Copies of this chain bind each other. A is one copy, B any other.
Amino acid sequence: QDTLAQLATGLLSGAIKVIDCAAVLGPNTPLLKLPPEIADDTPPIEIHKISEYGDRGPFWAWNWLKLGEHSGTHYDAPHHWITGKDYPDGAVDTIDPQYFVAPANVIDCSKEAAADPDFLLTKDALIAWEKEHGEIKEGEWVLMRTDWDQYNEDADKFLNANETGPHTPGPSVDCIEYLMEKKALGWGTQCVGTDAGAAGGFEPPYPAHNLLHKNNRYGLASLTNLDKLPPKGAIFITAPLKIENGTGSPVRALALIAE
């Protein structure tokens, strides 16, 4: 029996389970806040009714949305960052779709992030993780589990900002450098962006964005349910909307796991 036939059987029997790794998109979705002196923010999500089984459409309900490309659980394409702006295959409508289904490595940093909201995952920690769980290979996602999805309903906790700025966990500069050496497909987190809250002050600023996209690689943010995935073995599905010249897209990230 070939692989796709086995996959079909497994999906229909439930032996292969589909895990929802996306948060609800709506007016309460927490969004990135940037310093107003240097940048405009992405607007709050709005959902507008067109009709609801009534006067202006008797049998149907539907809505339109005001929706930022980088809202909620979302995908960052290389064109999101100046370092990746010239890749001809660097927008969500030009990336090779082969990359939208790929193996995932899940690095459990939940204890460290609970103890220190500014926790950074480093190259050394990744090397130690590989010793225990196996090598991170070319073309695979690396996902930082922090269980930050528990704060999705509470923007203040999710963004965790005070007078010194946002405090959320993320990658160190050498973490992303190491993943680029390993030719990882991309990097995902459970916080509002792929970078740590304090990353605007790193060198380079926002190293996940800067280095991933400079290398024509991808980012994922606001992922949920990573606590339900094994360290290795899940297949991650991240199909951004095919927005014309889109720099990113909200995404219904899914994981396939063996039950």
Query: Residues of A with Cβ closer than 8 Å to B?
Result: 2-8, 10-12, 14, 16-20, 22-27, 34, 38-43, 47, 50-51, 53, 56-70, 72-73, 79-83, 85, 93, 97-103, 137-139, 205-206, 209-210, 233-235, 237, 239-254, 256-258
Q: Looking at the assembled complex, report how far the CB atom of A105 sits from the nearest CB atom of chain B, in whole angstroms.
A: 11
**A97 in contact with B20 given A4-B235, A42-B50, A239-B237 (CB within 8 Å):** yes
Complex Cα gap A245–B45 (Å) = 14
| In contact, A81 and B60 (Cβ under 8 angstroms) | yes
Contact A58 to B38, CB < 8 A, known contacts A67-B64, A97-B18, A98-B17: yes
Contact between chains at A63 and B247 (CB < 8 Å): yes
Q: Write 11 A-B pairs (CB below 8 A) sorted by A numbering.
A: A4-B16, A18-B100, A19-B97, A24-B243, A39-B58, A40-B56, A63-B246, A65-B67, A66-B66, A241-B241, A249-B252
Residues of chain B within 8 A of A99, CB atoms compared: 18
Identify which of B4, B22, B53, B243 contacts A65 (C-beta below 8 A).
B243
Whether the pair B64, A100 counts as a contact (CB closer than 8 A) is no
**A68 and B63 contacting across the interface, CB-CB below 8 Å:** yes
Q: Known contacts being A4-B233, A24-B93, A25-B242, is A82 close to B59, with CB within 8 Å?
A: yes
Q: Out of B3, B24, B61, which one reaches A80, CB within 8 Å?
A: B61
CB-nearest residue of chain B to A230: B4
**Minimum C-beta distance from A222 to chain B (A):** 11
A3-B3, A67-B65 in contact; A56/B39 too (CB < 8 A)?
A: yes
Complex Cα spacing A240 to B210, Å: 29
Contacts of A3 in B (CB 8 A): 3, 6-7, 10, 16, 258
A53 CB contacts on chain B under 8 angstroms: 82, 85
Set B4, B58, B138, B251: member contacting A258, Cβ < 8 A: B4
| Cross-interface CB contact of A98 among B18, B38, B100, B210, cutoff 8 Å | B18
Nearest opposing residue in chain B for A28, CB measure: B244
